[in-house]
């Protein structure tokens, strides 16, 4: 059974520990490929900012195995590899 990912702020931890992940990768893919160039992420505490940034990091690193079964895995998500991300 999958667990709630309480306190897990990186996609790697969440996926390796079999945590529930609400798949946001469709929106992430659209942010990168269709939306603007700059984003200001202003969200309240515990709204998933760190996990989102970690998801970008893994995407741009090309960590394909972490995305198995998610929306972006079925798209050309791996083509996003090597876009630099500064955090």
Ligand X SMILES: Nc1ncnc2c1ncn2[C@@H]1O[C@H](COP(=O)(O)OP(=O)(O)OP(=O)(O)O)[C@@H](O)[C@H]1O
Chain CA centroid to CA 47, Å: 14
Three-state DSSP state, 3: strand
Contact pick of 1, 2, 45, 68 for ligand X (by CB under 6 A): 45
Other CB atoms closer than 10 Å to residue 64's CB: what's the count? 14
CB nearer to Mg ion: give 10 or 50.
50
Q: Is 16 in the site for ligand X (CB under 6 A)?
A: no
For the bound state, the minimum distance from the C-beta of residue 82 to Mg ion, rounded and expressed in Å, comes to 25
Three-state DSSP state, 36: coil
How far is 29 from 72, CA to CA, in rounded Å?
7
Choose the binding region for ligand X from 20-28, 32-40, 56-64, 78-86 (rule: CB under 6 A): 20-28
Q: Is 50 in the site for Mg ion (CB under 5 A)?
A: yes
């Amino acid at each position: 059974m999958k667990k709630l990912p309480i306190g897990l702020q990186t996609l790697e931890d969440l996926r390796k520990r079999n945590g529930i992940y609400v798949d946001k990768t469709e929106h992430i893919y659209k942010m990168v490929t269709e939306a603007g160039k700059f984003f200001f992420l202003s969200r309240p505490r515990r709204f998933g900012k760190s996990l989102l940034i970690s998801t970008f990091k893994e995407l741009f690193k090309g960590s394909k195995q972490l995305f198995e079964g998610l929306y972006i895995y079925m798209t050309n998500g791996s083509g996003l590899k090597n876009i630099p991300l500064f955090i």
